[in-house]
Amino acid sequence: MSRIGNAIIKLPSNVQFSFENNIVTVKGPKGELAQSIYPGIVFEQKEDELICSRQGETKDLKSQHGLNRSLVSNMIEGVSVGFKKELELVGVGYRASNTGQQLDLSLGFSHSVILVISPEVKVTTISEKGKNPMIILESHDKQLVGQVAAKIRSLRKPEPYKGKGIRIKGEQIRRKAGKSASAK
Query: What is the rounded average pLDDT of the residues 88-114?
Result: 93
Provide the pLDDT for residue 51: 93
The answer, yes or no, to whether residue 39 has pLDDT greater than 60, is yes
The answer, yes or no, to whether residue 1 has pLDDT greater than 60, is no
- Look up the CATH number of domain 9-80: 3.90.930.12
Residue 111's pLDDT band, with cuts at 50, 70 and 90, is: very high
Domain with CATH 3.90.930.12 in the chain: 9-80, 83-168
The answer, yes or no, to whether residue 41 has pLDDT greater than 70, is yes
In terms of Cα–Cα distance, which of 79, 74, 82, 73 is closest to 29? 79
The answer, yes or no, to whether residue 181 has pLDDT greater than 90, is no
Provide the pLDDT for residue 171: 87
The answer, yes or no, to whether residue 2 has pLDDT greater than 70, is no
Name the CATH superfamily, with its identifier, for domain 83-168: Ribosomal protein L6 (3.90.930.12)
Provide the pLDDT for residue 183: 59
The answer, yes or no, to whether residue 167 has pLDDT greater than 80, is yes
Provide the pLDDT for residue 184: 58
